[in-house]
Structure 1
């Protein structure tokens, strides 16, 4: 959230969070990560291309390399983050690993700040971007969500999850915040370039005269949480799975609490260059395969986010 990581900048909006009440697994620690880190994901072995059922659907160069390069902001637990051992973990890496078995390749995650991921995709640094990224029409069309101007080539999305945006405060100090309008006159922390930031900017324009929402945006959600935890803001906002995970794990569950209902439910999508239709279709086929064989549901349930599950992969389902 994006997001949400909706997460996002100019032409990009963001990560959002899982629809419905999500009981987020609390056994993993929320940890930081540095840019340029590469990680192939979980320990389970990826099937080689000779035995993988969908290997022939991949572009020849990727099939030969045996690797799908993934751009991701790996600081968004429980969607993607570093575990105690420094390994990339979370919903996205687990799903990527399962799809890799279908395609006979490894999905290698490379860390980057969220608002640079689509640029990295356009420059071919990454083959895909998988980072709790909300599928939006603006991103599909390469349009800046604030100015409405074209800023680059759009992308295609393979949608794999549904999520919404939440607000959280320090535990026991909600200050009467229940809705976005309650943030007028207060300071909100969030991740730069996300749907949370878009919503905050839109809400600030509706505030009564003499009041506004003071928005402080950070490179990642962990920095925003640290600011709120230290008393430097009144509230924070992020995708629901991320906010719920922070509430459950930060300070052993003593730091934060969720307030109000999540809003702006929308699909998370795997972003792929529009010119790379062969890879797009291979990713969709792999996602449909793990939904059909039950691996998708096992992963979603493992992370306690079953309410955000989808029944099939969808292309460009965002609005």
Structure 2
């Protein structure tokens, strides 16, 4: 999932330098669902807290359960999605599994729509949210990016990746679009509550009255891709890793093409309640450990996203 709150922003979605052209690898089909009832486990398989070097950093309640509940919109390949067998796969699940080995717990992913994940943290449905969520000041402070009003206590982030936002069109039919300003007079599809939606709304305000930008938002990115594929729009937008993965895999690489450069590069963060600083710090320690031992790099290489790598975990690095 940048303008107001994230790639995948809070009211939106939308994830220390700008990300370069990522060569997205893998040929897994885009699958997944956006309901809030399915849950799938992913993480360290039966890892013993005794053997885990960072287990003592966890809150006792989580250490005793042996599980960290993760809220995630599992329809955002290659960051998190379901493969043909229904298994939760992607960058986030792989990193969670590596961190689970350090902490001696299983990261258990539960599917939910993106714009409800922070609410799920507040209600304690999830312990963390890990879902290509961009770390922004608005989210940290609980500010609605559209109204500027405070709507919650905010969350803390452990930043672990950097990504920008991209525009894509049907392959061979770019509609003359190379920048966001070229969208005036056209229709764009995207995921609701994402930075892509923020950027589109901001651009729509700049368009002349006779060249209105039409925006159609969906619950998940795959629905937006389906509409564009069917000719129901001129362009789509999502985080660069997601857009590039769709270009690589959809229709065997024959459905879409990227246009222009990615914009609004910003960090993806793992969201944790401000009431749970101990868990936040444990997650940061685990992430730093997998960066140091090379597991982090292996995960990014596996998914072809190494240019979004960070050299250390950062707390609340978003601006």
SS of the equivalent of 1:107 reads: strand
Asked whether 1:14 is paired with 2:13, we answer: yes
- Cα deviation for residue 37 of structure 1 reads 1.6
Tell me by how many angstroms 1:2 deviates.
7.8
1:253 is aligned to 253
Q: Find out whether 1:130 has 2:130 as its counterpart.
A: yes
CA contact (8 A) 1:6 1:133 kept: yes
Runs of at least 5 residues in structure 2 that lack an aligned partner in the other structure: none
* Cα distance between partner residues in 1 of 2:71 and 2:45: 21
Spell out structure 1 runs of 4+ moving beyond 3 A: 2-5
The answer for the alignment partner of 1:194 in structure 2 is 194
| Length-normalised TM-score, structure 1 | 0.96
Is it true that 1:81 corresponds to 2:72 in the alignment?
A: no
Normalised to the residue count of structure 2, the TM-score between the two structures is 0.96
Distance in structure 2 (CA, Å) of the matches to 1:311 and 1:276: 24
Please say if residues 167 and 262 of structure 1, whose CA atoms lie closer than 8 Å, have aligned partners that are also in contact. yes
SS in 2 for 1:14: coil
- Structure 2 match to 1:217: 217
Which residue matches 1:301? 301
2:38 corresponds to = 37
Q: Deviations over 1:263-295 (max 9, x none)?
A: 000000000000100000000000000000000
Work out whether residues 6 and 135 of structure 2, in 8 Å CA contact, stay in contact via their aligned partners in 1: no
Q: Identify the residue that residue 315 of structure 1 maps to in structure 2.
A: 315
The number of equivalent residue pairs is: 316
Residue 185 (structure 1) aligns with: 185
Q: Does 1:264 align with 2:296?
A: no
Residue 111 of structure 1 pairs with residue 135 of structure 2: no
Cα deviation digits, residues 99-122 of structure 1 (max 9, x gap): 000000000000000000000001
2:97 is matched with 97
Distance 1:154 1:180 in 2: 30
Distance, in Å, in 2 between the alignment partners of 1:25 and 1:2 is 24
CA distance in 2, matches of 1:2, 1:132: 11
Q: Distance in 1 between matches of 2:252 and 2:130?
A: 29
